[in-house]
Structure 1
Amino acid sequence: MKKSLLASALAALTLAAVPAAQASTTSSFLLSPAPAPTDMPSPTDMTSPTDMPTSTDMASPGASASPVGPGCASLPTSGPGSAASMATEPVGTALAANPELSTLTKAVDAAGLTETLNSAKDVTVFAPTNAAFDKLPKETLDKLMGDKEQLTKVLQNHVVEGRKAPADLTTAPLTTLGGGSLTVTGSGEDLTVGEAKVLCGNLQTSNATVYLIDSVLVPGAESSATPSESAS
């Protein structure tokens, strides 16, 4: 009888020990820290601040500028002469691609200023259209084209330092590279340089801001060119 009771007691202790052991194992698992993932990127694998785009990688303010003026609608919408195409080229090359500026291009070539314009840094160019040159008598224009010194002076009177947005033009008289002075009046879509109307302006090239104008500007004066002034 005693042996039977002892056997029953030992069996009961054995059965009680099994759940306790399992509970101990479960508790140990829950309390143990989870192993760190091995596939997480290390700090050196993550993008550092130096990988972020810098200000020089972003488009310049000039690139997003909108052309202004009543003649902007006549610009090609794509290809050579368009605003988008001009923005990728230096100013001398950009002007040459516009068929409305072929006379100006010939004048720039005759004066040997194409590379000078292309290598200039941040300038504003007032570009007379073919119609602007057509206001001059043919003999006057021919004489000007044949006089490199005078032609250079005339062309330099159409260039000022700095990339001028429309709002910058009317703050003070502008000093040209030729030493002349230009006053711009008006605002918005209605701008006048001396007596020359801006047809389409705030056009961006890779190194300049361009304003297409309807008259040739005279060195040392704030008026459009007349036959007598151009021939002198």
Structure 2
Amino acid sequence: MKLSHRSVGLAALALTVSLGLSACAEDEDSSANDTAETPAATPTPMEDDSTAPAADAAFGPACDQLPAEGDGSAATMADQPVATAAAGNPLLTTLVSAIQEAGLVDTLNSAEALTVFAPTDDAFAKIPEKDLNALLADKEALTEVLTHHVVGAEAGPDAIAGDHETLNGTTVTVEGSGEDWTVDEAAIVCGNIDTANAKVYVIDTVLMP
């Protein structure tokens, strides 16, 4: 039996529509699968606007005076108890002599955890020579001054602000933000130096109890 031209045309049109609908359905399924398989975008973390220095990095304008390696370097000091570590630091030669004169080397080295505000050589040089020599010769007075610079707990940059009781029973007050900090009347010129048993903050003025 022969099909009329109209019947052939209608059949062709039906086939075209059927194929078109099938293709659309496949495209929709593909789009749906793509959407389901695409992981959600990871939110961009907000920038930390904290003003505290990094907890694992030394900070301050005098830090570049530390040796890059060997005695007095950050890496070497981190492995040594605090009095031994200070002995290799070129900023702290007068302080080290004072610690030895006061007989505090073993006390500091054997402590479990300390925070030490360490005056530089230039800080000691601010004291008139006659007065400094008298202080170094008076073990009791020297011990009082030195222990006024030591706190019996380790305080990193996130905990350094505020009032701290010293080993001398006195109090020092730390204020500031970012890399600008003071301890009473002294400025921290290189802070957050790690030693095996202490955090060291190098300061530009000797603190008097």
Note whether the superposition's TM-score is higher than 0.5: yes
What secondary structure sits across from 2:116 in the alignment?
Answer: strand
Contact 1:72-1:200 within 8 A present in 2 as well: yes
Q: Are the aligned partners of 2:66 and 2:90 in contact in 1 as well (CA < 8 Å)?
A: no
**1:77: Cα distance to partner?**
1.0
Distance 1:188 1:200 in 2: 12
Aligned to 1:161: 152
Residues of 1 paired with 2:193 and 2:95: CA distance?
A: 16
Aligned counterparts of 2:136 and 2:167: Cα–Cα separation in 1:
19
Is 1:151 the equivalent of 2:151? no
Matched, 1:99 2:90: yes
- Give the number of aligned pairs: 155
Query: Who wins on radius of gyration, i.e. which is larger?
Result: 1
Equivalent residue runs for 1:131-150 within 5 Å: 131-150=122-141
| Contact 1:125/1:159, CA 8 A, preserved across alignment | yes
Q: Would the aligned equivalents of 1:101 and 1:129 in 2 still touch at CA under 8 Å? A: yes
Which runs of 5 or more residues in structure 1 are unaligned? 1-63, 220-232
- SS of the residue corresponding to residue 86 of structure 1 reads helix
Write the letter of the residue equivalent to 2:180: D
Runs ≥4 residues deviating over 4 A: none
Whether the 8 Å CA contact 2:148–2:168 is kept in 1: the answer is yes
Give the structure with the higher percent helix: 1
| Conserved 8 A contact 2:118-2:149 | yes
Helix, strand or coil for the counterpart of 1:203? strand
What is the CA-CA distance between 1:213 and the residue it aligns to? 0.4
Q: Percent identity?
A: 52
CA contact (8 A) 1:67 1:201 kept: yes
Shift of 1:136: 0.3
How far 1:173 moved relative to its partner? Answer: 0.7
What's the secondary structure of 1:80's corresponding residue? coil
Shift of residue 169, structure 1, vs aligned partner: 1.4
User: What is aligned with 2:47?
Assistant: none
Q: Which residue of 1 aligns with 2:109?
A: 118
Could you tell me how far 1:149 is from its partner in structure 2? Answer: 0.3
Residue 142 of structure 1 aligns to a residue whose secondary structure is helix
Q: TM-score, normalised to structure 2's length?
A: 0.72
Q: Partner of 2:112: helix, strand, or coil? A: coil
**Secondary structure in 1 aligned to 2:80?**
coil
1:167 Cα deviation after fit: 2.0
| Unpaired segments ≥5 residues, structure 2 | 1-54
Question: Does residue 206 of structure 2 align to residue 209 of structure 1?
Answer: no
Q: 1:192 aligns with which of 173, 179, 182?
A: 182
Contact 1:68 1:188 in 2 (8 A): no
